[in-house]
Amino acid sequence: MTTPDTTQQTPITYADAGVDVEAGDKAVDLMKESVRRATRPEVLGGLGGFAGMFDASALQGMRRPVLATSTDGVGTKVAIAQAMDRHDTIGQDLVGMVVDDIVVCGAEPLFMTDYIATGKVVPERIAAIVGGIAKGCELAGVALVGGETAEHPGLLDPDEYDVAGAATGVVEHDEVLGPDRVAAGDVVIALASSGLHSNGYSLVRSVVAGAGWELDRQVDELGRTLGEELLEPTRIYTRALLDLVRSDDVDVHALSHVTGGGLAANLARVLPQGTIARVDRASWTPPPIFTLVGELGAVPRADLERTLNMGIGFVAALPQASVDAAIARSRAAGIDAWVLGEVSDAATTEPVAGAEVVQGAKGVHGGAVQVVGEHV
């Protein structure tokens, strides 16, 4: 084996390679206070351990505890945060995308971890991102028990980063929500989104770039700048939905988080085979950002509805007797809700001519959904 000649070689340190360990330590110091607020009594240990620890002894009192887990990111919405140099809200988006997927099965999210990859650790920026994650965890009642920040010089530009997270929750086995509970005659209610949330930003960014619009452009119909609208944090539904699921006057059969794929595809995932849900566009008016994206990019309606949430962040299927109480509870929690449609027997329901029937999404071959009518 040839031995390299190092007699004239300049020493190369980790910092020379682009990794600043001290900056990482400073970022941890800056985020400590926000992380401290995102906790629960079951959390053991503190920030800086190799693993986050959560006391699971409370599960011993459950009849048959089922753990639920989810992982996600926020997609290309990070590009908006980077372009605006505002990083304190993207973490809330991450929490919403992760923990509210867990609530779909009726589980209570317990704890979360995060991962940030960046081209260069800027302590203040990392602390702002983690501060947003901690705030989201507070809103959801979830403990932030750990995380990792990785510096990837040469792989990412100095101002680039991406975020991801994972969470774990628990639900009693006989309280798991899903298609097996849904039946013909159930009503579908909608819970309003806070805006685009964190899906479809590749389409939105393409439309904005094609129109030549800048993020600091004031848009009258939005009542603020375009960038401010695009950075609106994802609404976190955890507490409101758990209140619905646990209430005595509401019998929730199924929940669906309206994320990638849009309303129809995500609702179809939680319906049993042999059923069809018909939902009516006339029951709601999408917020202005959705109309703006559609008109600015001449985006076909079918593409908009497959990509964006169109103003609906969650849907619930429940019996008619629970509808009024569910809507009232949601509105009391600050989330507008309304009747969206109804589930019926597919064998005896004639689909509306000219309206697409959506069935089968992300490997789930459940019920069908047909979106009909026109927005008012």
Quote the pLDDT of residue 47: 72
Quote the pLDDT of residue 36: 75
49 has pLDDT over 70 = yes
- Residue 237 to residues 116, 242, 335, 359: CA-CA distances in angstroms? 24, 8, 9, 26
8 has pLDDT over 90 = no
Quote the pLDDT of residue 128: 95
Mean pLDDT of the chain: 93
Do residues 70 and 142 make contact, with C-beta atoms less than 8 angstroms apart? no
Nearest in space to 293 (alpha carbons), one of 216, 206, 217: 206
Quote the pLDDT of residue 213: 98
> Domains in the chain, start-ordered, CATH in brackets?
19-44+65-172 (3.30.1330.10), 179-372 (3.90.650.10)
- The dihedral through the CA atoms of 323, 242, 267, 96 has a sign that is positive
pTM for the predicted model, two decimal places: 0.92
Residues in CB range of 369: below 8 A, 6 or more apart: 263, 264, 265, 267, 268, 271, 276, 277, 278, 279, 357, 358, 359
Residues in CB range of 334: below 8 A, 6 or more apart: 240
Quote the pLDDT of residue 35: 74
